[in-house]
A and B are shown apart, each in its own frame.
Chain A
């Protein structure tokens, strides 16, 4: 199989996911503008951070005028899962040039990881697998950028009475439900949901981080080794 074939195979494999990604990207763009971010920084967020859930959290906190370090910590905690993906892809990208590793890393997302790693697990040869991953990851990147840009321009025109800001909690719900895979994750989620009601009034919007720590700790306590994943 040629390089170009592998690239397009990956590109096409991401197509079903793109149907969901595009409207999600639009929501993120729309919300950024609605939260009072400039057009440039709304787009810069997608370009530099390129991770939907953390972008929404940043937008939410910008709207609440939270202090800078809270925004940074919250976003990075949400993105900590990339460590696992990074470790998962590392053996497959061994020996590549630094600049190529950097680009493949920048494009690493939940969806690109899942597509890329399952292709390697099916026995893809190293270079073909890398091109397949690049095809999927770059398709996701393109659609994410176009979607946010579309949302940014749509967001400028949407009247407040439409209540479009409600799309943010709705997208959190859509992201939450698939993560509730078993009793332990359900328990941890419920604990965090209850905890934030108590700690949300902590100064500087620290509530979210505190609730997350409580929720994760409760999950670790309730679950036993081997129950997970």
Chain B
């Protein structure tokens, strides 16, 4: 991808994110009723993350691939357990990487 496209994305997302962060701080005078927005946004983080996890663990070139992706899938499932038990990003990443390397070593 050409660097200037990446820079365009960075600047537009940067500006957009700043707008999301600042809009109510600038315009809101008191408390606001955000219950509908809150209900929608409540689901955004789990849904985005679940979709990203699912596609990166289960798909390769849009196809369901068990073979080469199997050790990553198993490592991912165990990493999910680690995340659940520890609630720690670093432990999840280090644990998951260690399991993938171990499985790769055992399976080759």
- Known contacts A38-B3, A41-B7, A208-B55; A49/B14 CB under 8 A: yes
Query: Chain B residues near A101 (CB, 8 Å)?
Result: 22, 25-26
B55 contact set on A, CB distance < 8 A: 196-197, 200, 207-208
Question: In the complex, which range does the number of interface residues on chain B fall in?
Answer: 35 or more
A167/B46 in contact, CB under 8 A? no
9 new A-B pairs (CB below 8 Å) besides A108-B25, A179-B46? A23-B89, A53-B48, A62-B1, A84-B34, A164-B97, A175-B45, A177-B80, A179-B49, A208-B48
CB distance from A44 to the nearest CB of B (A): 5
Pick the contact of A169: B17, B41, B57, B101 (CB < 8 A): B57
Secondary structure of the A contact surface, majority rule: helix
User: Across the two chains, which residue of chain A brings its CB closest to B9?
Assistant: A71
List the A side residues contacting B7 at CB < 8 Å.
41, 44
Query: Cα distance A160–B23 when bound, in Å?
Result: 42
Please provide the chain A residues from 81 to 98 with a CB less than 8 Å away from any CB of chain B in the complex. 81-87, 89-91, 93-94, 98
**Is A45 within 8 A of B10, CB to CB?**
yes
- The residues of B with any CB-CB pair to A shorter than 8 Å are 1, 3, 5-14, 16-18, 20-32, 34, 37-59, 62, 64, 72, 75-76, 79-80, 83-84, 87-90, 92-93, 96-97, 100-101, 104
Instruction: Write out the residue numbers on chain B whose beta carbons fall within 8 Å of the beta carbon of A193.
Output: 50-51, 53-54
A119 proximal to B (CB < 8 A): no
A176 touches B53 (CB 8 A): yes
CA distance A126 to B24 in the complex (A): 17
In the complex the two chains form, is A91's CB within 8 Å of B11's CB? no
Q: Is the interface of B mostly helix, strand, loop or mixed?
A: helix
CB neighbours of A94 from chain B (8 A) = 29
Judging by beta carbons under 8 Å apart, are B21 and A41 in contact? Answer: no
- Interface positions, chain A 185-204, Cβ under 8 Å from B, are 185-186, 188-197, 200-201
Q: Which of A39-92 contact B (CB under 8 A)?
A: 41, 44-45, 48-51, 53-54, 57-58, 60, 62, 65, 68, 71-72, 75-87, 89-91
Complex CA distance for A58 and B45, rounded to whole angstroms: 15
- CA A190 – CA B47 in complex, angstroms? 8
Tell yes or no: A1 within 8 A of B by CB.
Answer: no
A2-10, A149-157, A215-223 - the one binding chain B? A215-223
